[in-house]
């Protein structure tokens, strides 16, 4: 597939190589509304000055200013890489130059693509969501449905105790579930799994943390690996079961590189109940944009928990 | 709407990144604290700080402890939590730390409108005064 003529490089950028303006597309495009693709970078591995300058070049002036206003060089680099990852990822699925995307925020502050009227080659609008940890930045992409993604280090230490955090922010049934776990490491891991799942849901919903308070919905990882999400029953309600939100939201939870939990959530209004809920299809790539893409799903690097 | 900043780390002129919903609640919060009529939102950064310095200092300490910031990292009233690298789990732990330190209870909707250390300190002063 011929690539468009690369735009002129800024004079004076020492050692800049002429990179093609579009990163390669993935081997397979998004097949359906139930497929999610995740692309991630590891900032600690990206230290080549000319590469970083080239990524910085992809950003809009306000993104550049924003990155530079972060506190310290590491956070500045992460903020820059986050935008470069987003732009290059979107470019793969739309054949639009990474520099060309404009973004806006919905009324709750969730970032979205601002499509132009001449972006007619897009049959279905792309949705994205980004998650950072200090050592990994991930960008999830879905076709035509809202998406949320959250990545967290498995062993992330909290300053507050797990149960005090759960009591403050989770539902009673989730607290009960965690309280039953005797081993503190196992309890911490289950907490992180629940946290990433709940975050992914709230981010997919796009209404901000207070739009779907964590203590108003419960997530349960069932023995058959299904993820169940339900509204927590109100205090005055005797019944055990809340309203089920599971019909409309699909989740995937995976262990990434044995070091992270990654949760993805998409909206699914497709009423596809033929054989029970269809699992969300997940593909994951590790990327050094323009340099190297490695498909990691289907290997030990990505172990599906659900 | 993209925030155009001057690029300098500490500046009252930088607009808060709060969404439109939360800037309404932020302005509403201030009306209770001040006796004189407020300037319209576009000019609000000329209003004097309402939070006590003591509160701001305490918030800075709690934030520094939670985020395990590098030696010599400056945290002041205008420091933004996101610029300090706080993610969602950090933020809820900071809120819990503030609740414990000041014996207050912060609602999710108020917590969401906090962008800077200053915002947190103002909310704390208000909640403490209301006890």
The residue of chain B nearest to residue A61, with distances taken between CA atoms, is B4
Residue A100, exposed/middle/buried by CB under 10 A (0-12, 13-18, 19+)? Answer: middle
A8 — pLDDT class (breaks 50, 70, 90): very low
* CB proximity B64 to A under 8 Å: no
> Phi, psi (5° rounding) for residue B99?
-60, -45
Q: Which of B32, B57, B83, B87 is catalytic?
A: B87
Residue whose C-alpha is closest to residue A142's, from A268, A297, A303, A261: A268
State chain B's mean pLDDT as an integer: 72
Cβ-Cβ contacts under 8 Å, A152 against chain B: 89
Cα gap A1→A20, rounded to integer Å = 12
Q: Check residue A118 and give its pLDDT.
A: 67
Q: Which of A138-147, A215-224, B36-45 has the lowest mean pLDDT?
A: B36-45
B62 — pLDDT class (breaks 50, 70, 90): very high
Q: How many residues does chain B have?
A: 131
Is the ipTM reported for this complex over the cut 0.90? no
Geometric angle at alpha carbon A284, from A277 and A3, rounded to 5°: 120
State chain A's mean pLDDT as an integer: 85
Residue A224, exposed/middle/buried by CB under 10 A (0-12, 13-18, 19+)? Answer: exposed
* CB proximity B11 to A under 8 Å: no
- One DSSP character per residue, A146-159 reads -EEEEEEETT---S
Model pLDDT for residues A159-185, shown as the tens digit of each residue: 999 999 999 999 999 999 999 999 999
Model pLDDT for residues A40-80, shown as the tens digit of each residue: 999 999 999 999 999 999 999 999 999 999 988 999 999 99
B87 is catalytic: yes
Q: A interface mutation test: which of B81, B89, B116 has the most A CBs within 10 A?
A: B89
Considering only the beta carbons, identify the residue of B5, B85, B109 that sits closest to A65.
B5
Percent residues over pLDDT 70 in chain A: 83
Domain locations in chain B as residue ranges:
53-130
Cα gap A110→A104, rounded to integer Å = 8
Q: Check residue A207 and give its pLDDT.
A: 84
Q: What is the mean pLDDT of residues A204-228?
A: 84
Cα gap A253→A303, rounded to integer Å = 9
Cβ-Cβ contacts under 8 Å, B112 against chain A: 208-210
Percent residues over pLDDT 90 in chain B: 35
Q: What is the mean pLDDT of residues A217-222?
A: 87
- The structural domains of chain A, ordered by start, are 35-304 (3.90.470.20)
Check whether domain B53-130 has CATH 1.10.1200.10, yes or no: yes
CB contact under 8 A, B19 and A109: yes
Model pLDDT for residues A245-304, shown as the tens digit of each residue: 667 888 999 999 999 999 999 998 775 554 555 678 899 999 999 999 999 999 999 999
Cα gap B19→B30, rounded to integer Å = 17
Contact A174, A166 (CB under 8 A): yes
A:230-259 residues touching chain B, CB 8 A cutoff: none
Q: A interface mutation test: which of B108, B113, B114, B116 has the most A CBs within 10 A?
A: B108
A221 — pLDDT class (breaks 50, 70, 90): confident
H/E stretch holding A283: strand A281-288
> Phi, psi (5° rounding) for residue B110?
-70, -40
Q: What is the mean pLDDT of residues A224-230?
A: 80
Q: Check residue A14 and give its pLDDT.
A: 35
Cα gap A137→A262, rounded to integer Å = 11
Considering only the beta carbons, identify the residue of A68, A69, A107 that sits closest to B19.
A107
Above 90 in pLDDT, residue B101? yes
Cα gap A151→A256, rounded to integer Å = 9
Cα gap A115→A103, rounded to integer Å = 8
Percent residues over pLDDT 90 in chain A: 60
Above 50 in pLDDT, residue A154? yes
């Amino acid at each position: 597939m011929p690539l468009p003529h690369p735009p002129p490089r800024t004079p004076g950028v020492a050692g800049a190589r002429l990179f093609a303006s579009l990163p390669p597309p993935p081997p397979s495009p998004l097949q359906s509304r139930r497929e999610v693709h995740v692309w991630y970078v590891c900032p600690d591995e990206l230290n080549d000055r000319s590469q970083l300058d080239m990524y910085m070049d992809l950003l809009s002036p306000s993104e550049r200013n924003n990155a530079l206003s972060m506190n310290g060089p590491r956070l500045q680099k992460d903020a820059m890489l986050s935008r470069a990852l987003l732009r290059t990822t979107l470019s793969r699925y739309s054949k639009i130059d990474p520099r060309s995307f404009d973004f806006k925020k919905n009324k709750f502050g969730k970032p979205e693509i601002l499509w132009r009227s001449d972006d007619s080659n897009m049959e279905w609008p792309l949705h994205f969501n980004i998650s950072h940890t200090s050592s990994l930045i991930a960008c999830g992409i879905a076709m035509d449905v809202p998406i949320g993604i959250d990545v967290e280090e498995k062993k992330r230490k909290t300053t507050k105790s797990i149960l005090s955090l759960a009591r403050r922010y989770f539902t009673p049934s989730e607290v009960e579930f965690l309280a039953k776990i005797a081993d503190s490491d196992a309890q911490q891991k289950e907490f992180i799994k629940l946290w990433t799942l709940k975050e992914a849901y709230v981010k997919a919903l796009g209404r901000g943390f207070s739009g779907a308070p964590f203590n108003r919905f419960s997530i349960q990882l069932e023995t058959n690996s299904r993820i169940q999400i339900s509204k927590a029953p109100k205090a005055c309600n005797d019944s055990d079961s809340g309203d089920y939100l599971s019909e409309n939201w699909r989740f995937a939870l995976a262990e990434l590189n044995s070091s992270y939990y990654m949760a993805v959530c998409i909206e699914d209004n497709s009423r596809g109940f033929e054989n029970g809920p269809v699992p969300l299809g997940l593909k994951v790539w590790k990327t050094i944009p323009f340099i190297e893409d490695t498909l990691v799903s289907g290997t030990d690097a990505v172990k599906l928990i659900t | 709407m993209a925030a155009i900043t001057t690029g300098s780390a500490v500046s009252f002129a930088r607009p808060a990144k709060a969404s439109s919903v939360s800037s309404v609640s932020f302005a509403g919060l201030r009306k209770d604290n001040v006796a004189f009529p407020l300037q319209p939102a576009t000019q609000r950064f000329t209003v004097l700080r309402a939070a006590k310095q003591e509160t701001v200092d305490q918030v800075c300490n709690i934030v520094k402890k939670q985020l395990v910031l590098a030696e010599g990292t400056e945290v002041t009233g205008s420091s933004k939590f996101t610029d300090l690298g706080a993610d969602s789990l950090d933020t809820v732990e900071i809120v819990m730390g503030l609740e414990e330190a000041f014996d207050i209870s912060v609602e999710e909707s108020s917590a969401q409108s906090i962008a800077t250390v200053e915002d947190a300190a103002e909310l704390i002063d208000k909640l403490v005064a209301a006890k």
